């Protein structure tokens, strides 16, 4: 082994440099070569910044700046001349870049304010062009809202924004219902009052007519006359009290704010409850404390609906509603009320808070939890050199999926815009939900912006995106999805790297982006990396994914090496030590387990397939000597004939009983209820529960009546059969008449 390679292998095995080579990477400002193009985010068009709007549907409340500009440019360029449209596009894209630059530089505020600032900056640089174009472009942008970049605050801002949109829709629906209930219950009480003595008093009648015609009526006489018309059904005192109680409960509820148009009486006495919390413990305590009020309100709503419909029966319903909510409320009942939102940071998730998170998620209650993780490469608390590489977050998300009924979404902040729909789905769902989000804002541990770091976490499988939706179906195939991850069938996604070599030739290599690439972005792990000078590059340096796929026996003859670029975008090759490779293997194993859940390389399915293949081959081997084609095994014609046989008995079963021509009967199903037979003899003929005739008692009448009924029947459904009494007069003639109906 050459001396250079020996030094590389020694570093790989021990993580220590014995000599000047390989060189340390601290201070070189290295980043994975595949991320070289993402140095200036302001110059790139991508999902961020986002615009959080207060209008439109739930999905439209989070929009991408690029999408807003695309839409505005389409609108403003339609019908414009080619040169004008090109100038507008150029101006629009320039302005968008300026706004993005402002946001990356720390601007926070409304889109309109950023627009003004960006336009002013462009004007000062002389890039704004004619004012008319800028004005037309501004008029085409109809969206207004807060700008949000991919930073530490984004996960909580976005989830809170989406949560508020879902809750406002729920609140609007609830308020409409509440308003209607209060109004209708009030009307019932008012109607009761109008029928009472007080309601019919002369003074009341006079007040209701008003001052203009007060002298035209004799209200005393009117009152006396009305007093004689007492209502037939008295309004019980218990009902009056019940309705008053219902009104009080509905009006004093604090789960939603008061309806805007509810009038003076329907106002809420106290401030509405708060439903956003910073810890699971607080949320649980609030929920438990409010549960009696919630049960009372849910009961009041159901009882009020029954009262309004006039269906409430004290005998039937009092007992039922006395125990209402004793066994907790159904998730469907709870779904009408606000959900609780807890935004908690993983760094605070210790001890009690962790236990309470478990309690929240396993409770089945409508609590939505945002677990924000800012650092997935945190140092292990158990000693120097140990990495956790996202195991804490994985623990929570995997545990939540294991609970079966929790909606789980894991995604990096960079992909939250694309996960708007799954986020809304989780928020709309009745029951608990967990949103595990990696923000990428790990502070001073990396030079990369949070967006790139978050996206790199997804790319490297360090923080895979997945969703588990318990309402989507009965099995994992329908509930679990891993689709958002790149190349999910591979261990590591592979991307092409294009660079220029020493001869200024364009070279393309396919590079896998592994966990080691992601860890290399974090300066805390710089000691596990070492730069190999250009002169020492040799064939013993192999890509990390290749090193991971090799099984090492004895002394390694090659070492894993990353492709990185320095601050001047010069390509560098960097050794990784065994410790990082070990973490990459752990990460790969975790990825494999996720793949299996998603049905990719599923070990059960593959084992079954292998077994069937072996069995098939064995059968084929046995059948070969007999020269029977293998395909005949599967081409049995039995099913068609067996299904045909299956239908026949059913058809026969529907055919009905065979009737003897001597039997007296009615084809009841054909009876058209014309009353002819029942008018002849309503003891012999009667109607069944569907008001169709049958022979109730043959002995209740004569054969002559039976024949007469058969002749009268409009649909000839009566069959007289043979006479029962041989001594009945004119039997021969009657039988001749009856023969027509046999």
Name every residue whose Cβ is closer than 8 Å to that of residue 33 and which is 6 or more positions away in sequence.
497, 499, 511, 562, 563, 564, 565, 571
Tokens standing for residue 284: 């649980």
Would you list the DSSP string of 257-318? PPPTTSTTTT--SSPPPP-EESSHHHHHHHHHHHHHHHHHHHHHHHHHHHHHHT---HHHHH
Least Å distance, CB 330 to another protein, is: 4
The 663-702 site mask, x for binding another protein (CB under 8 A), equals ------xxxxxxxx--x---------xxxx----------
Choose one: 78-86, 172-180, 284-292, 566-574; the region binding another protein (CB under 8 A): 172-180
Member of 176, 550, 582, 659 binding another protein (CB under 8 A): 176
Least Å distance, CB 671 to another protein, is: 6
Counting residues that bind another protein (by CB under 8 A) gives: 39
The single residue listed with the structure tokens 């006479």 is 723
Least Å distance, CB 426 to another protein, is: 18
Tell me which residues in 317-346 interact with another protein (CB under 8 A): 317, 320, 324, 330-333
User: CA-to-CA distance for 602 and 608, rounded, in angstroms?
Assistant: 10
151 versus 179: smaller Cβ distance to another protein: 179
Establish if 263 lies at the interface with another protein (CB under 8 A). yes
Establish if 651 lies at the interface with another protein (CB under 8 A). yes
Establish if 295 lies at the interface with another protein (CB under 8 A). no
Tokens standing for residue 569: 């975008």
Please report, for residues 73, 129, 146, 510, the alpha-carbon distance to residue 111 in angstroms, rounded to integers and kept in the order given.
Answer: 16, 21, 6, 40
Establish if 714 lies at the interface with another protein (CB under 8 A). yes
User: CA-to-CA distance for 437 and 421, rounded, in angstroms?
Assistant: 15
Choose one: 27-35, 70-78, 179-187, 508-516; the region binding another protein (CB under 8 A): 179-187
Tell me which residues in 77-136 interact with another protein (CB under 8 A): none
Member of 108, 180, 254, 354 binding another protein (CB under 8 A): 180
The single residue listed with the structure tokens 């789905």 is 425
Least Å distance, CB 102 to another protein, is: 41
Establish if 240 lies at the interface with another protein (CB under 8 A). no
Least Å distance, CB 547 to another protein, is: 52
Choose one: 250-258, 305-313, 437-445, 501-509; the region binding another protein (CB under 8 A): 305-313
Least Å distance, CB 338 to another protein, is: 17
Using an 8 Å Cβ cutoff, are 461 and 588 in contact? yes
Please report, for residues 129, 278, 699, the alpha-carbon distance to residue 78 in angstroms, rounded to integers and kept in the order given.
Answer: 20, 48, 89
Please give the distance of CA 356 from its chain centroid, rounded to a whole number. 24
Burial of 153 from C-beta contacts in 10 A (0-12 / 13-18 / 19+): middle
Establish if 306 lies at the interface with another protein (CB under 8 A). yes
286 versus 682: smaller Cβ distance to another protein: 682
Would you list the DSSP string of 382-405? T-TT-B-TTHHHHHHHHHHHHTSS
Least Å distance, CB 615 to another protein, is: 41
Give the residue among 509, 512, 455, 515 at the shortest CA–CA distance from 485.
455
Least Å distance, CB 660 to another protein, is: 18
Tokens standing for residue 412: 């990096």
Least Å distance, CB 304 to another protein, is: 13
Choose one: 33-41, 54-62, 176-184, 411-419; the region binding another protein (CB under 8 A): 176-184
Establish if 183 lies at the interface with another protein (CB under 8 A). yes
Establish if 310 lies at the interface with another protein (CB under 8 A). yes
DSSP 564: E
Member of 59, 715, 733, 739 binding another protein (CB under 8 A): 715
CB atoms within 10 A of CB 341: 25
636 versus 651: smaller Cβ distance to another protein: 651
107 versus 687: smaller Cβ distance to another protein: 687
Using an 8 Å Cβ cutoff, are 356 and 284 in contact? yes
459: left (phi over 0), alpha (psi -120 to 50) or beta: alpha
Binding site for another protein (CB under 8 A): 176, 179-180, 183, 261, 263, 298, 302, 306, 310, 313, 316-317, 320, 324, 330-333, 651, 654-656, 669-676, 679, 689-692, 712, 714-715
């Amino acid at each position: 082994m050459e001396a250079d390679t020996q030094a590389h292998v020694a570093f790989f095995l021990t993580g220590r440099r014995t000599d000047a080579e390989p060189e340390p990477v601290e201070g070189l400002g290295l980043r994975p070569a595949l991320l070289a193009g993402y140095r200036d985010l302001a110059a790139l068009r991508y999902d961020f910044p986002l615009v959080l709007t207060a209008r439109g549907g739930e999905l439209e409340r989070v929009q991408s700046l690029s999408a807003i500009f695309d839409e505005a440019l389409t609108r403003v360029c339609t019908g414009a001349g080619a040169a004008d449209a090109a100038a507008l596009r150029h101006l629009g894209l320039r302005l968008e870049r300026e706004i993005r630059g402002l946001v990356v530089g720390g601007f926070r505020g409304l889109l309109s304010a950023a627009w003004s600032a960006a336009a002013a900056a462009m004007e000062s640089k002389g890039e704004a062009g004619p004012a008319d174009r800028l004005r037309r472009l501004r008029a085409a942008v109809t969206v207004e809202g807060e700008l949000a970049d991919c930073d530490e605050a984004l996960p909580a801002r976005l989830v809170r924004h989406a949560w508020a949109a879902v809750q406002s829709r729920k609140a609007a629906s609830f308020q409409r219902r509440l308003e209607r209930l209060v109004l209708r219950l009030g009307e019932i009480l008012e109607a009761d009052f109008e029928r009472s003595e007080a309601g019919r008093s002369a003074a009341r009648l006079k007040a209701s007519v008003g001052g203009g015609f007060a002298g035209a009526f004799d209200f005393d006489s009117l009152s006396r006359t009305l007093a004689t018309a007492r209502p037939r059904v008295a309004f019980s005192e218990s009902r009056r009290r019940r309705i008053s109680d219902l009104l009080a409960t509905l009006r004093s509820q604090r789960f939603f704010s008061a309806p805007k148009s509810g009038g003076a009486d329907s106002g809420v006495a106290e401030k509405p409850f708060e439903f956003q919390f910073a810890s699971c413990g607080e949320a649980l305590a609030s929920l438990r404390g409010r549960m009696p009020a919630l049960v009372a309100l849910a009961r009041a709503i159901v009882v009020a609906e029954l009262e309004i419909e006039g269906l409430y029966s004290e005998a039937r319903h009092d007992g039922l509603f006395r125990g209402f909510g004793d066994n907790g409320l159904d998730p469907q009942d709870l779904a009408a009320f606000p959900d609780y939102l807890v935004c908690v940071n993983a760094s605070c998730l210790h001890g009690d808070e962790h236990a309470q998170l478990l309690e929240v998620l396993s409770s089945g209650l409508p609590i939505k939890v945002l677990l924000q993780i800012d650092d997935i490469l945190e140092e292990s608390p158990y000693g120097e050199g140990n990495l956790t590489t996202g195991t804490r977050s994985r623990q929570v998300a995997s545990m939540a999926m294991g609970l079966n009924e929790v909606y789980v979404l894991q995604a990096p902040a960079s992909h939250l815009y694309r996960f708007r729909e799954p986020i809304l789905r989780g928020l709309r769902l009745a029951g608990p939900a967990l949103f595990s989000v990696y923000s990428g804002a790990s502070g001073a541990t990396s030079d990369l912006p949070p967006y790139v770091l978050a996206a790199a976490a997804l790319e490297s499988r360090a923080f895979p995106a997945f969703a588990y939706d318990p309402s989507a179906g009965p099995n994992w195939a329908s509930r679990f999805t891993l689709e958002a991850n790149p190349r999910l069938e591979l261990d590591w996604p592979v991307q092409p790297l294009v660079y220029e070599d020493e001869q200024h030739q364009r070279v393309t290599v396919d590079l896998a982006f592994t966990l080691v690439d992601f860890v290399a972005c974090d300066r805390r792990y710089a000691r596990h990396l070492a730069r190999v000078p250009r002169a020492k590059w040799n064939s013993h340096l192999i890509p990390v994914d290749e090193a991971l796929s090799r099984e090492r026996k004895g002394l390694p003859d090659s070492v894993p090496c990353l492709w990185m670029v320095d601050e001047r975008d010069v390509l560098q090759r960097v050794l990784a030590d065994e410790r990082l490779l070990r973490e990459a293997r752990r990460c790969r194993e975790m990825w494999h387990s996720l793949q299996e859940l998603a049905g990719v390389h599923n070990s059960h399915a593959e084992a079954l397939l292998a077994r069937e293949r072996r069995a098939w081959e064995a059968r084929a081997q046995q059948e070969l000597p007999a020269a029977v084609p293998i395909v005949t095994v599967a081409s049995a014609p039995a099913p068609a004939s067996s299904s045909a046989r299956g239908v026949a008995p059913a058809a026969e079963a529907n055919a009905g009983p065979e009737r003897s021509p001597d039997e007296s009967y009615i084809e009841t199903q054909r009876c058209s209820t014309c009353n002819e037979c029942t008018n002849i003899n309503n003891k012999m003929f009667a109607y069944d529960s569907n008001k169709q005739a049958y022979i109730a008692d043959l002995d209740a009448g004569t054969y002559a009546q039976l024949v007469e009924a058969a002749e009268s029947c409009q649909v000839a459904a009566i069959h007289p059969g043979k006479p029962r009494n041989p001594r009945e007069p004119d039997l021969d003639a009657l039988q001749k008449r009856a023969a027509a109906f046999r």
